[in-house]
Amino acid sequence: MLKVTNVPDFEALVRFLLTPFLESPEALRLDFEPLSNGQRLWIRVAFDGEDKGRVFGRGGRNIQAIRKVLKATGALHGCAVHLDVYGESSQDSGDGSDRSRSRGGRGGPGRPRRSGGRPGPGRPPRRNHSN
């Protein structure tokens, strides 16, 4: 008799998603920590440092995509899934959490932006000169 379970095999899924990016797939280490009676799953992965660039991808796109697949799979089964990469910094994650980046625009880094109606320091307020 075939036994069907409703719980996805997250270990196989993580290996399936990460292995194509790894030069040394045998170095991949996985740790799973279920929390809150199976309502949450914390997945920790570790791999060789030389594979880090390929796993994260340009701007963190690869790791973001992997996290999205895991979160979506967990959501289908009523489980919140979080993927943590050993040795990852906020800059590596590519999730926009790096606060040191320039905001761009005219103000440049570290200068507050002004809303359209307020004059800057040393500037007189605009007046409407209609007759």
Domains, the chain, in order of start with CATH, read: 10-93 (3.30.300.20)
16-30, 38-52, 92-106: least confident range: 92-106
35-60 residue pLDDT tens? 888 789 999 999 999 999 999 999 99
- Please report, as a single letter, which amino acid is at residue 64: Q
Give the pLDDT confidence score for residue 37 in this predicted structure: 82
Encoded tokens for 128: 């409407």
45-49, 74-78, 81-85, 106-110: least confident range: 106-110
Across the chain, the runs of DSSP E, i.e. the strands, are: 29-35, 40-46, 80-85
Mean pLDDT of 88-97: 54
pTM: 0.64
Between CA 75 and CA 8 the distance in angstroms is: 11
| 130 vs 56: which has the higher pLDDT | 56
